[in-house]
Structure 1
Amino acid sequence: MIRPMFGAVCAGVMAFASQAVGQNVETGAELYQHYCATCHGIEATGHGPMAGVLVIQPTDLTQLAAEDGVFPTARVVARIDGRDPLVSHGSPMPVYGPYFEGQDTSMKTPDGQPILTSQPIVDLVAYLQTLQ
């Protein structure tokens, strides 16, 4: 009897451990500088050094919540990890999901809907939210 109960307790602990451990804005800022600033610019306004050679200009990431006042968490996560591809310069926007694999976690949208993603994407989204 103890052995099946031990397995159930372990499974519960593992499920809890896979939940989001929090957002790290500083890590998100570092990820942004490394992966995003080349196109979106250091200030995230869409004026990075590569913007001039792109057919579709990079989005001003400081205005993501401007339309309705709500940060579009699900859309941003889907763009970063490739679930919602964007064609720019004749090819998809660089998909960074593969770079951030292996640290699965979840986060919630403003309306409470959970999204499965990775911890680096959670951190990057946290940083982008500070820019609004």
Structure 2
Amino acid sequence: MTRCAAGLLAAIFALAGCQGSEMEIGSPVTGEEDYIALCSSCHGASGIGDGPAAAGLSPRPADITKLAAGNSGEFPLIAVMARIDGYTRAPGVMPEFGQLFGEELVPLETAPDVFTPTPPRLIALAEYVGSLQR
């Protein structure tokens, strides 16, 4: 391999590495990554409401590990997405995150035979919250 070709390959890999880092830092792509970036400071890593910012909040962040238990054992996916997005506002200090999820939409069945355009990141985040249920 010539020195020029080796230099070109190194530059391509360097640019690919920079682009990957930007995506990871600026745009989490999994529900868990979004949870860590957006929710864990208040709700804590395990979701019980004990994040580092929780002590200074009134009311305290909800224990989101008990959402299914408080809903007859069924995780309320649609209600959780509405709360995260900001569509429903209950008294409290939780920010609205809907603006962060971008404009990409996919159909989500929100009722039998009813499909609602929904950001995939919002679905992934709500599903991750569902995985925290006890």
TM-score, structure 2 length as denominator? Answer: 0.69
Aligned equivalent of 2:119:
118
Deviations 1:18-56 (A, max 9, x none): xxxxxxxx8101110000001000111111111111111
Deviations 1:75-124 (A, max 9, x none): 101111111013324xxx21110000211123235x64544321100111
Task: Report the Cα offset of residue 130 of structure 1.
Answer: 1.2
Bigger share in helix:
2
In the TM superposition, what are the counterparts of 1:42-121 in structure 2 within 5 Å? 42-67=45-70, 68-89=72-93, 93-109=94-110, 112=112, 114-121=115-122
Task: Report the Cα offset of residue 125 of structure 1.
Answer: 1.2
Read off the aligned partner of 2:127 and give its amino acid letter: A
Q: Which runs of 5+ in 1 are unaligned?
A: 1-25
| TM-align CA RMSD | 1.8
Read off the aligned partner of 1:34 and give its amino acid letter: A
Q: CA 1:34/1:70 → structure 2, altered by over 3 Å: closer, same or farther?
A: same
Q: Which runs of 5+ in 2 are unaligned?
A: 1-28
Larger Rg: 2
RCO higher in structure (CA 8 A, sep ≥6): 1
Contact 2:68 2:76 in 1 (8 A): yes
How far, CA to CA, are the matches of 2:62 and 2:107 in structure 1? Answer: 25
- Give the total of aligned pairs: 103
Task: Report the Cα offset of residue 129 of structure 1.
Answer: 1.4
Deviating runs (4+, > 3 A) in structure 1?
111-116
